[in-house]
Amino acid sequence: MPSPPGVRARRRSLPSLTPARRAPGGLPDDRFFRHIVSGMRNGVIAIHRDGTLALMNDEAYRIFSLPREPLDVGRPFGEVFRDRPDLLRVLSGAFELTTLPNRAELRLKDVDRVIGYTLSLVKDDSDRPIGAALFFKDLTQVEQQEERERLRDRLASLGEMAAGIAHELKNPLAGIEVMAGLLRRQVAHSPDALSMLADIISEAKLANAIVVEMLEFVRPLRLQLERTDVAGVLHQAMTLAENTVARGETSIRLQLAPDLPPIDGDEHQLCQVFTNLLTNAFEALEGRGHVDIKASIESVEQDPAFTGEPEPPTLVLVVDVSDNGPGVPTDLNDRIFDPFFTTKTQGSGLGLPIVRKIVDAHDGRIDLSSTPGVGTRFRVTLPVSTASCWFNRASSTKTKGNGVYGSNSHR
């Protein structure tokens, strides 16, 4: 039956459903698929069955901090990833494991990153494995944010208990100190009694100082934000630290990048942060060695996979406080910011937790890098403007257990 007028014309105007470009033999042009992989926000690495690298996109090079070499594709993946043994271990098991990892995590200590990954086989039309593909995402900022949230939960319950204990102890300690002072007047003729009372008063003052520090730690922090000159804060912190602990022969080297901008911060609280870090360095060095203070401005790229839309880089202030002291034992690195944990013979173990609390309140972060026998570095990173909320925004969109990569942390 002939078609009604106009129908034939409409049929001819319908868009074609066949691919616009095809390679010889009728197969889709593989350049299109290469562009897909190149533009993905996830890292992708694929290997052939013979152990050679098939492809690796730009995001994979960035996450693993590897330089791109023009002849990487086709080389044995053991050569390409020789500096990343953890990645080699994962890829080497692709053709040996009966169940491949899905939504697993890999911690790369040498580049200080955490990635979530899925490993799958690439099969031909006969269902034979001809290669393997690793799909992964950088979860470092997400992990750091979740660690901060876990710490806040622990501190909240600990703070309630500590506040109650501190209030109960403060009055008896003050009473001991007052009564010991009165008793000292009555035994002025006995040197031994005076010596014992002096020890009692000294210990009571030390206990009271710990209680005061405990109350400061559990008390809600209220920042007085203003445009703050970091150079001035660092100079003031150096003076306060020298008045707190004997510096001895320890030298200080201060390096300030030119034209450091003021930041949104609480000058008093930030001064406490750097005073505490310098005090710890002086105590570790015991009058020897040197302390380096370096302040600079860096630009932090936001990951659009977490922020939703591409955003301009955020300016952050980075301050490193380094010393060449004995360092922190490796097994204590994860505990150094825990409340009441200390390696000193005398101390409350609240100095560094208070420092972290202040840095967190400024939407910043503090990182420890230490090698026993070589030295310790504390890095404080603060946003130049609080309006940016650079740290929280980068990981606020992640939902636990949702998406391709989970958050199964094994601490």
Residue 12 has pLDDT above 50, yes or no: no
Asked, for residue 97, whether it belongs to a domain, the answer is yes
In the structure, what pLDDT confidence band is assigned to residue 294 with cuts at 50, 70 and 90? very high
Asked, for residue 12, whether it belongs to a domain, the answer is no
CB 211 within 8 A of CB 169: yes
| % the chain with pLDDT above 90 | 20
Same domain, 112 and 232: no
Same domain, 342 and 310: yes
Among 104, 138, 172, identify where a domain stops.
Answer: 138
What is the pTM (predicted TM-score) of this model?
Answer: 0.51
CB atoms closer than 10 angstroms to residue 404: 13
Q: Give the DSSP H/E element, type plus range, for residue 378.
A: strand 375-383
Domain enclosing residue 211, as ranges: 143-218
Same domain, 40 and 162: no
Of 49, 23, 24, 50, nearest in space to 34 by CA: 23
Asked, for residue 4, whether it belongs to a domain, the answer is no
Please name the amino acid found at residue 411.
R
> What does the block give as tokens for 148?
């901060």
Asked, for residue 409, whether it belongs to a domain, the answer is no
Tell me how many domains the chain contains: 3
Same domain, 38 and 84: yes
Higher per-residue confidence, 304 vs 146:
146
In the structure, what pLDDT confidence band is assigned to residue 395 with cuts at 50, 70 and 90? very low
Asked, for residue 387, whether it belongs to a domain, the answer is yes
Same domain, 131 and 156: no
Same domain, 152 and 212: yes
> What does the block give as tokens for 253?
């080297």
CATH code, 327: 3.30.565.10
In the structure, what pLDDT confidence band is assigned to residue 52 with cuts at 50, 70 and 90? very high
| % the chain with pLDDT above 70 | 77
Among 178, 201, 218, identify where a domain stops.
Answer: 218
Higher per-residue confidence, 109 vs 390:
109
Among 188, 218, 248, identify where a domain stops.
Answer: 218
Report CA 74 to chain centroid distance, whole Å. Answer: 35
Q: How far apart are CA 295 and CA 260, in angstroms?
A: 8
**pLDDT value for 47:** 92
CB 354 within 8 A of CB 343: no
Same domain, 112 and 97: yes
Chain segment 91-116, per-residue pLDDT in tens: 988 888 888 888 888 887 777 788 88
Asked, for residue 75, whether it belongs to a domain, the answer is yes
Chain segment 233-292, per-residue pLDDT in tens: 999 999 999 988 888 888 999 999 988 899 999 999 999 999 999 998 998 888 889 999
Asked, for residue 292, whether it belongs to a domain, the answer is yes
**pLDDT value for 405:** 31
**C-alpha distances in Å from residue 183, one per residue of 86, 177, 207, 290, 335:** 67, 10, 20, 46, 42
Same domain, 279 and 309: yes
Q: How far apart are CA 276 and CA 350, in angstroms?
A: 10
Average pLDDT over residues 112-133: 88
Same domain, 178 and 325: no
**pLDDT value for 206:** 77
Q: Scanning the structure block, which residue is given the tokens 């203003």? A: 226
Chain segment 156-199, per-residue pLDDT in tens: 676 677 667 776 777 788 788 888 888 888 887 888 888 888 88
Asked, for residue 174, whether it belongs to a domain, the answer is yes
CB 74 within 8 A of CB 52: yes
Same domain, 48 and 122: yes
H helices of 135-250, in order, are: 140-186, 191-218, 230-244
Same domain, 250 and 130: no
Same domain, 32 and 80: yes
